A and B are shown apart, each in its own frame.
Chain A
């Protein structure tokens, strides 16, 4: 093992862990101003929007690939399917698509 790589990994681990950990030890939760609490409560839904778009449309150069995958996911999720079913059906739809294209 190269020592430099090991130090790099340890450094990467430290700078990744610290931002993940700080809020949990700095704040006890529920002591921030109401408005800020509201903003933090909004974060999950906003994050999901940003994590999905535009990434899902760009997974392949062929944009239809992303559109189909997104369509399958949104449709199955809208119909009330469990998350795993949503994941498996979009994989299935895209496997079929690349099989035919």
Chain B
């Protein structure tokens, strides 16, 4: 119990950069939701129940266009299906626990909370994930409400520069692993190249482009590695 509570604290600390990164995005979401005609209760409710930035933004655009409810839900599903992959990956790294707890914290899996938990050294405890997710969730929900209430965003210069926050966080999470392992460099690099190609070729929506780039990179690098290992017969596998 005591371990879980100190893990929870560590998780909250690790989640603070997410909370900072969510601040401008949630604020803007609240503002846009207001201009789209959602009430403050509907806005906060959406952030509380959906908790997925990109799809919430898209739903506002679709509402403005007069798209039907079913299509909006379907689009949301397609945009968020990538979390299946992230949960499957994180599930290999978390400590054994009751399925009920896992099903509970699964609600908090976003690109950002996943990235923080998955790049943590060693096993990820239940308390830690709850910590990361709670502070991120709180920031997302509260700031959506504030955005709607205040009805204004940050000064434009600051608003613009804060759009880099989540990307910078991803970089901050990735680089330490890249310094330690060549494999991480290849994995990130190959996925970045695939995603850039998919994005500029405009063949896939953003959600699918990320999923496909990730799967291709993870598969190719793993195949190359196991091929090399087999060839070396008993040789050390590529450092990971």
List residues of B whose CB falls within 8 A of some A CB: 14, 16-17, 20-21, 38-39, 41-42, 45-46, 49-52, 55-56, 59, 69-70, 72-74, 76-77, 80-81, 83-89, 91-94, 96, 99, 102-103, 106-107, 109, 111, 114-115, 118-119, 157-158, 160-165, 167-177, 179, 183-184, 187-196, 199-200, 209-210, 213-215, 217-219, 221-222, 225-226, 240
The digit string for A25-48, where 1 denotes a CB below 8 A from any CB of B, is 101111010010111111111111
Q: Are B188 and A48 in contact (CB under 8 A)?
A: yes
Q: Are A16 and B167 in contact (CB under 8 A)?
A: no
How many of chain A's residues have a CB under 8 angstroms from any CB in B? 78
- When A and B form their complex, which 9 residue pairs have the shortest distance between CB atoms, in order from nearest? A49-B188, A86-B172, A77-B175, A53-B192, A44-B118, A94-B161, A13-B49, A49-B191, A43-B89
Q: Are B195 and A54 in contact (CB under 8 A)?
A: yes
Cα A82 to Cα B196 with chains together (Å):
27
Cα A5 to Cα B72 with chains together (Å):
11
Q: Are A45 and B187 in contact (CB under 8 A)?
A: yes
> In whole Å, how far is B122's beta carbon from the nearest beta carbon of chain A?
13
Report which of B69, B168, B225 forms a contact with A87, defined as CB distance below 8 A: B168
Q: Are B87 and A7 in contact (CB under 8 A)?
A: no
Interface pairs (29), CB distance under 8 Å: A1-B42, A8-B59, A8-B69, A8-B72, A9-B50, A11-B69, A16-B80, A17-B107, A22-B84, A23-B91, A24-B87, A24-B103, A29-B91, A39-B218, A41-B240, A42-B222, A43-B214, A47-B89, A47-B114, A47-B210, A48-B188, A50-B194, A60-B160, A74-B171, A78-B175, A81-B172, A84-B172, A86-B172, A98-B161
Q: Are B195 and A49 in contact (CB under 8 A)?
A: yes
- Chain B contacts for A25, CB-based, 8 A: 99, 102-103
Q: Are B172 and A77 in contact (CB under 8 A)?
A: yes
Cα A30 to Cα B91 with chains together (Å):
9
Q: Are A83 and B174 in contact (CB under 8 A)?
A: no
Cα A28 to Cα B161 with chains together (Å):
42
- Chain B contacts for A11, CB-based, 8 A: 69-70, 72-73, 76
Cα A44 to Cα B177 with chains together (Å):
10
Cα A45 to Cα B176 with chains together (Å):
11
Cα A52 to Cα B213 with chains together (Å):
12
Using known A-B contacts A20-B84, A23-B84, A87-B165, determine if residue A1 contacts B39 with beta carbons closer than 8 Å: yes
Q: Is A63 an interface residue (CB 8 A)?
A: no
